[in-house]
Amino acid sequence: MNLSSKLLSDAVNEFAGLPGIGKKTALRLVLHLLKQDSAKVTAFADSLTKLRQEAIYCKQCFNLSDAAVCDICSSSARNRDQICVVADLRDIIAIENTSQYNGLYHVLGGIISPMDGIGPSDLNIESLVTRIKEEGTKEIILALKGSMEGDTTAFYIYRKLKDFECMISIIARGISIGDELEYADEISLGRSIMQRTPFENTLKG
């Protein structure tokens, strides 16, 4: 894309580096920002800078947080007997929007993917094992994408936890989570959580 200004070109290239943003969309966004008040653009840029510099990960569940312990982990209203295991914080947002789950979470930070060079040691799995030992969790709910990588991750976690005195369940596969949890509609996702089944049932047959 040939642009008349290097400043414009640089801004477009930065936006185009974001997931799902092509050069044409990036140009449209940059031109939109150019039409805004200087104060509004500055506030936009400052919010991103502040997010990158000040946001931290909860020391218990690894959710994005403003404090050492996130609002979910610190809430006395949550069911502390349950931990829902998800790949990243987008899954937490999707599940919270269903209003069908009131337990805690544990963010793995991805899923096992040998093709991408991601192994068990690259994920927050050992810290999950430690949490269960220390907190006496009664149920682990595996809410991972229904793909080969997601299934591999779920099975690995099951093998790590099967000797603990806690139920290990998996959300029902009535939704197309071969895609991502965040793209499932709230009703279907909520139903899949309510209709979760023991993980060991998936190993039969």
CATH number at residue 15: 1.10.8.420
User: Which residues partner with 169 through β-bridges?
Assistant: 141, 198
Residue with structure tokens 């430690």? 130
Mean pLDDT by 10 residues, the chain (205 residues): 87 94 95 95 96 93 95 96 95 91 96 93 96 93 89 94 93 59 72 87 73
Are 171 and 150 in contact by the 8 Å Cβ rule? The answer is: no
Our count of domains for the chain comes to 2
d(CA 112, CA 102): 27
Scanning 78-185, the segments in alpha helix (DSSP H) are: 89-96, 126-135, 148-161
Q: What is the CATH number of the domain that holds 138?
A: 3.40.1360.10
What does DSSP assign to residue 113? B
Q: What is the residue range of 71's domain?
A: 57-203
E strand intervals along the chain = 56-57, 64-65, 79-86, 103-107, 139-142, 167-170, 197-198
Do 133 and 35 belong to one domain? no
What pLDDT is stored for residue 184 in this prediction? 65
What pLDDT is stored for residue 181 in this prediction? 63
What pLDDT is stored for residue 178 in this prediction? 41
Q: Which of 134, 201, 125 is nearest to 167 (CA)?
A: 201
Query: Does a structural domain hold residue 1?
Result: no
